[in-house]
Amino acid sequence: MLLSLIYVLALFSAVFASPTPQWFSPTSVKRSDFSHEPPAARGLTNAMRLARGYPLKAPARRSDTARRGVPSSVPSGSYKPPSRLTRGYLQFTTTDGQSAGFIGTQTNKDGDFLLATGNNDQLLVEIDLVKAKSGPTTITTVNGGTGVSYFAGIIGSTSTSNNLSPDSLRSAAITIFALHTLILPSSSYFNFGGSSDQSSQSGAFLETAIFAYSATNNSITVQWANTDGTNAETFIGLTQQGAFGTGDRNACEQEFGTVTWVTLSFVPQ
């Protein structure tokens, strides 16, 4: 009964208490959390505050919860940007629209790629089609054999110049060449030291970043870079010895006879 009376008195006092204002000071709030600085000091740097006699601004507080945040769904260090490489095959097409075959995985003694004999030995390559749309890029091989990394063009053994031009066959003939050493194509052209045992052309001049892609018809054009920085128009031909590029079709046929002129296209896997 006594406890009930005390409770009623306490409730009565709370309801009919004097309206005298009381300071509300919960234990979870500290006076230091409230700003007592003059309005004129707000927005000033500590150097400006010190010069004007205002108290320095306290360092900003950060809670542990804010630092921890929400755990990422992707573990740190494991993120990989999406690959833009597209796999496919390289097909030759004649000027009248007929298929002339695909580049195969087999090479001759000099390392030049030969035509595929069937579906099982077609050369599988990777191309960054986004990059290839904006200019020449590299083509990497997937199943080209041990050590084969890049698809490239190499100056033919009968050439006396590293440049292509429409007036001289000997400065125009190049071949499609298989690289059997890991070469990072940091530039569009460079000298190859002949470290491959399948290449008989020591010190040969070759280029890798010469392939441009057109999304309109999936064509691959060869943009050979001459040593003076110009890009030569390049034509691709087929003979029994394989595929090659040249800057002068007429001179090429005068030297080697009839040539099947083709275009190169990329067929996605």
Give the mean model confidence (pLDDT) for residues 66-80.
53
DSSP 8-state secondary structure symbol assigned to residue 255: H
Closest CA to 176 of 211, 128, 132, 213: 211
Report how far apart, in Å, the C-alpha atoms of 14 and of each of 7, 8, 11 are: 11, 10, 5
CB-CB contact of 111 with 196 (8 Å): yes
Predicted local distance difference test score (pLDDT) of residue 80: 54
- pLDDT of residue 125 exceeding 50: yes
CB-CB contact of 211 with 221 (8 Å): yes
Domain holding 217, by residue range, is 87-268
Q: Evaluate whether residue 106 is within a structural domain.
A: yes
Predicted local distance difference test score (pLDDT) of residue 178: 38
Give the mean model confidence (pLDDT) for residues 237-244.
77
CATH number of the CATH domain containing 122: 2.80.10
Q: Evaluate whether residue 18 is within a structural domain.
A: no
Q: Evaluate whether residue 164 is within a structural domain.
A: yes
- pLDDT of residue 34 exceeding 50: no
Closest CA to 169 of 254, 257, 264, 240: 254
102: number of Cβ within 10 Å: 18
What number of CA atoms fall less than 13 Å from residue 218's CA on the CB side?
Answer: 14
Least confident of 146-160, 192-206, 225-239: 192-206
- pLDDT of residue 35 exceeding 60: no
Q: Evaluate whether residue 58 is within a structural domain.
A: no
Q: Evaluate whether residue 242 is within a structural domain.
A: yes
Report how far apart, in Å, the C-alpha atoms of 219 and of each of 12, 103, 133, 224, 233 are: 92, 14, 11, 16, 15
Least confident of 49-53, 202-206, 212-216, 253-257: 202-206
The residue behind tokens 């006879």 is 257
- Grouping H, G, I as helix, E, B as strand and the rest as coil, residue 123 is coil
The structural domain count of the chain equals 1
Predicted local distance difference test score (pLDDT) of residue 157: 66
Q: Evaluate whether residue 126 is within a structural domain.
A: yes
- Grade residue 112 by pLDDT with cuts at 50, 70 and 90: confident
Closest CA to 240 of 254, 255, 258, 252: 258
Closest CA to 245 of 163, 139, 124, 140: 163
Q: What is the pLDDT of residues 126-140, one digit of tens each?
A: 999 888 888 888 888
Q: Evaluate whether residue 183 is within a structural domain.
A: yes
Q: Evaluate whether residue 181 is within a structural domain.
A: yes
Of 186 and 248, more confident: 248
Prediction pTM value:
0.60
What number of CA atoms fall less than 13 Å from residue 139's CA on the CB side?
Answer: 28
CB-CB contact of 230 with 251 (8 Å): no
Predicted local distance difference test score (pLDDT) of residue 127: 92
Least confident of 67-81, 113-127, 235-249: 67-81
DSSP 8-state secondary structure symbol assigned to residue 49: H
